[in-house]
Structure 1
Amino acid sequence: MTEDSGSGLRAALGGLTTRGRSFLAAGIAAAVCAYVLGQPDLLRVGLLLAVLPLVCVAVLYRTRYRVAGGRRLAPSRVPATSEARVHLRIDNVSRIPTGLLMLQDQVPYVLGPRPRFVLDRVEPGGHREVSYRVRSDLRGQYPLGPLQLRLTDPFGMCELTRSFSAYDTLTVVPKVEALPAVRLGGEASGYGESRTRTLSLAGEDDLIPRGYRHGDDLRRVHWRSTAKYGELMVRREEQPHKARCTVLLDTRRPAYYGAGPDSAFEWAVGGSASVAMHMLERGYSVRLLTDTGSSVPGPDGAGGADASDAAGIMLDTLAVVDHSDGAGLSRAHEVLRAGNEGLLVAFLGDLDEEQAAIVGRMRQRAGGAVAFVMDSSVWSSRESRESQDPAYPALPLPGADAGDGETRNGEIRARRAVRMLREAGWTVLQVSAGDVLADLWQRADRYRSREEAGTG
């Protein structure tokens, strides 16, 4: 990173400190008085006072390109509530030592106070390294920089601020919760020997042979394709069939109550990240889908590098996901109708009967379906209790029955939506404020086992 050329000499003159301006004004005043009074000695003093700050400005202006800086994040992607360390390095690329340097980095207020450092003297060709920590409770992508360097002269006459052109981005991803290993519906094709299928099961006409390679077994030669292509062709080896999982995140703005790190929407985002990472670790091909129809596909292969890349892409997506203005889940339903999704895990906000019916139809194309439904009536009552000052308890007011009636209507609507989803074959869990995803994940497995036992 090199220093920005920025302003010219006029900006450098604007960097005069109060002391420098005072010296300049005193020098000009002394020179005027010497001219009026005819005192040459006073004129010499006035010229000295006026020239000194100007010389300091010229020296600083000439040394503005002699310093290079860099920034390094460790790590560049951190979970919410975790700390990252930012390392700054200043190199003196000139042949003369620097004076006093004041270093300042531009940091969003969400990450903490703006860091400032004072560097005394950097020898020619030398460098200095400093570091500071940043932390955020809110997910997102935050720019760090540009780095600002303030140069001062030994007399304190002038201070010049120069900004470096480059900046870095710190990505704060949702906090991922470790989940227990359970066996949910739709996973039968993803475990043990059943995860491997041969293409020959689809019939010989569906085979896609490949060219013969040295060392291939001659018993695998496909003679019909050999005659067709005029070269030796062999049947492909057995292809592993990866189990698939789709994580559906409902981002509709009207479906959630409140905001902030403890809101229902943030719980749903963190739950989506936890489930996606858990299924990737178990070898699934995972796709993240939102109500808008946009999706982040998982890796096609089972390699660790591909899974790692997919995890990074999905975490980066969830770090910046926000509420959508859409009012329905029909776009997500259209995406899911394209094929068999294997296991479908949904994090849903408030549902009316129409949206519950759409979600119910999503179950038709999934081998297993688990829904975590946010109970906004419970979340809203909890946030109201937490915001209430204990020293001033709420008093019953006229018209309070109307609010209670609205809460009861919301509870009735939520129970009706849950019943519709369960009738459609979903394993449904209602989420209240303070619930732990790992406990709900195990409870979903127990509910599925009961449903299979009841239907068996």
Structure 2
Amino acid sequence: MSSRRRDRGARPARGDRPSRGARRRLGGLTVRGRAFVAAGGTAVVCAVVLGQATLASAGVLAVALPLVSLVATRASRFEVHLRRGLSPTHVEVGGTSTVHLGLAVTGRVPRGTLLLEDQLPYVLGARPRMVVRGVRGAWTGDVSYPVRAEVRGRYETGPLVVRVRDLFGTVELVREFHHTGTLTVRPQTHPLPRGSLGEGSGTSGDEQLRAAAVGSAEDASVRDYRIGDDLRRVHWRTTARTGELMVRREEQRRETHAVVLVDNRTTSHEGVGHGSSFEAAVVLAASLCDHLARLGNVVHLHDAAGLIVTAPAGAAGSRRALDALAVIALVDRTDLAPLVPRGGSGRRDVHLALLGRLVPADDAVLAAARGRAVAAHAAVLDVARWHPDHLRSGPTAAPPREVAHLAARGWHAVPVGPEDTVTGVWSALSAARRPVGTLR
């Protein structure tokens, strides 16, 4: 990509004062170059007043050096090309990525120094500044630097600004690029063991074929023989019992679905930044989505405003959910959007809700979700314990009132405090008193 040059020597528009026009014509001079011109001009004036020819010569030389260098540098014809790379493009909080910059300078390049400065958001660290000395003629080179993110989000790296200085440091030309790179910082995930969360209905949420409404499981797993069926699939026990040739059915894997809700209302959380209850909910949601998707479940990720993303089963689905959680933010909303689409989806899924402070208006949404879910689990964050004053006073044993409130409406709810681990919360969620199956 070619660069765009900042023209610091453009002619002043009509009506501009001469002093402003002079400043624009000398715009390519550095502080050192301007100092040379000022000192040289002063020396010439003093030489004329005092009648010192030697001082006048020195003054003319001091003025001429930066001006001649400025003319020569501007007369040069060169281009700067940039190739930008970022590896990896996705990291977890606390991870490190490397920015790669490939530079190529072509044409008549003034001999001097290249000063490189890449623009970065403050959360990725200070702006890197690199110096390449002794540039003469065509030049190519690669530079790289690491970036480390401690806050989740999606960030732009760049654009790059290249400054070309002459040998004396009196003249500087600027090239600015528009090309940037995107770094996605995902929330941290924690490995989770398998747990019992409840199974979906016959249309989704089950891993194995279910028995028919009548008869045994063995009857449901066989059918009549058809011409062309492999004889190795004949179920001899059922054939002997029924007197008809019976074969085993082909088991077909059915999709399992889970709905994960992250309560991201501003009024539902306490704390600031990385140490807030909202960030704790996001980390927990990331681990749940990653675990469920990688074990073959379709994950429907919701926030207070509704569905964010539907992540397919597998590693690709995990990445999609984590990318969505990388940019989820608090919203100024007072209610929860329905978890079940209007008209229904024909499924009964497992629901996992990561909730903060609830309000009476949430009852209808959570009750409707429980009615359509084969199992409903909620991690209720005791948000008051994330308040700075409460953190200083230490933990308390009393769970938030929302736990009992949800339990009375059929949810399996567990309290979560600042000292709880993700694995511990998962173990509590999967320790339901009446598990109806296993969601991987």
TM tier, smaller = 0.7 to 0.9
Q: Secondary structure at the match of 1:294?
A: strand
Q: Secondary structure at the match of 1:138?
A: coil
- The 1-side partners of 2:101 and 2:149 are apart by 20
Query: Residues 265-292 of structure 1, C-alpha deviation per residue, up to 9 Å, x if partnerless?
Result: 0011111121111111011111111111
Deviation at 1:447, TM superposition (A): 2.2
Are the aligned partners of 1:15 and 1:158 in contact in 2 as well (CA < 8 Å)? yes
Q: What amino acid maps onto 2:380 in structure 1?
A: V
Spell out the pairing of 1:252-331 with structure 2 (5 A cutoff). 252-299=265-312, 308=316, 310-331=317-338
Deviation at 1:335, TM superposition (A): 5.8
Query: Residues 127-168 of structure 1, C-alpha deviation per residue, up to 9 Å, x if partnerless?
Result: 222222222221112221111112211112123333212222
Map of 2:7 onto structure 1: 7
Are the aligned partners of 1:56 and 1:158 in contact in 2 as well (CA < 8 Å)? yes
- The 2-side partners of 1:37 and 1:446 are apart by 97
Q: Secondary structure at the match of 2:368?
A: helix
Map of 1:50 onto structure 2: 63
Map of 2:220 onto structure 1: none
Map of 2:246 onto structure 1: none
Q: What amino acid maps onto 1:326 in structure 2?
A: R
293 and 190 in structure 1: CA distance in 2 versus 1, 3 angstrom threshold: closer
Deviation at 1:72, TM superposition (A): 1.4
- The 1-side partners of 2:111 and 2:349 are apart by 64
Q: Secondary structure at the match of 2:91?
A: strand
Map of 2:425 onto structure 1: 440
Q: State which drifts further: 245-254 or 422-431.
A: 422-431
Query: Residues 366-424 of structure 1, C-alpha deviation per residue, up to 9 Å, x if partnerless?
Result: 122211111112222xx336568xxxxx9xxxxxxxxxxxx99xx68x32x32232233
Query: Residues 314-366 of structure 1, C-alpha deviation per residue, up to 9 Å, x if partnerless?
Result: 22221121111111114445569544251111111112344245313211111
192 and 247 in structure 1: CA distance in 2 versus 1, 3 angstrom threshold: closer
Map of 2:241 onto structure 1: none
Q: Secondary structure at the match of 1:183?
A: coil
358 and 251 in structure 1: CA distance in 2 versus 1, 3 angstrom threshold: same
Are the aligned partners of 1:60 and 1:151 in contact in 2 as well (CA < 8 Å)? no
Instruction: Choose the corresponding residue for 1:430, options 411, 415, 438.
Output: 415
Map of 2:36 onto structure 1: 23
351 and 345 in structure 1: CA distance in 2 versus 1, 3 angstrom threshold: same
Instruction: Choose the corresponding residue for 2:112, options 99, 106, 110.
Output: 99
- The 2-side partners of 1:436 and 1:371 are apart by 15
Are the aligned partners of 2:158 and 2:179 in contact in 1 as well (CA < 8 Å)? yes
8 and 123 in structure 1: CA distance in 2 versus 1, 3 angstrom threshold: closer
Map of 2:372 onto structure 1: 365
Q: What amino acid maps onto 2:297 in structure 1?
A: Y
Q: Secondary structure at the match of 1:110?
A: helix
What is the alpha-carbon root mean square deviation over aligned residues? 3.4
Percentage of matched positions with identical amino acids = 37
Query: Residues 413-453 of structure 1, C-alpha deviation per residue, up to 9 Å, x if partnerless?
Result: x32x322322332221111102111122122222245x669
Map of 2:134 onto structure 1: 121
2:103 paired with 1:90: yes
Structure 2 regions of 5+ residues with no counterpart? Answer: 11-23, 213-225, 230-249
Instruction: Choose the corresponding residue for 1:379, options 352, 374, 386.
Output: 386
Deviation at 1:73, TM superposition (A): 1.2
Query: Residues 277-314 of structure 1, C-alpha deviation per residue, up to 9 Å, x if partnerless?
Result: 11110111111111112331223xx6x5xx51x43332
Higher helix fraction: Structure 1 or Structure 2?
1
Q: Secondary structure at the match of 1:297?
A: strand
384 and 173 in structure 1: CA distance in 2 versus 1, 3 angstrom threshold: same
2:121 paired with 1:108: yes
Higher strand fraction: Structure 1 or Structure 2?
2
Map of 2:170 onto structure 1: 157
Spell out the pairing of 1:223-242 with structure 2 (5 A cutoff). 240-242=253-255
- The 2-side partners of 1:97 and 1:14 are apart by 18
- The 2-side partners of 1:335 and 1:257 are apart by 32
Map of 2:83 onto structure 1: 70
2:351 paired with 1:344: yes
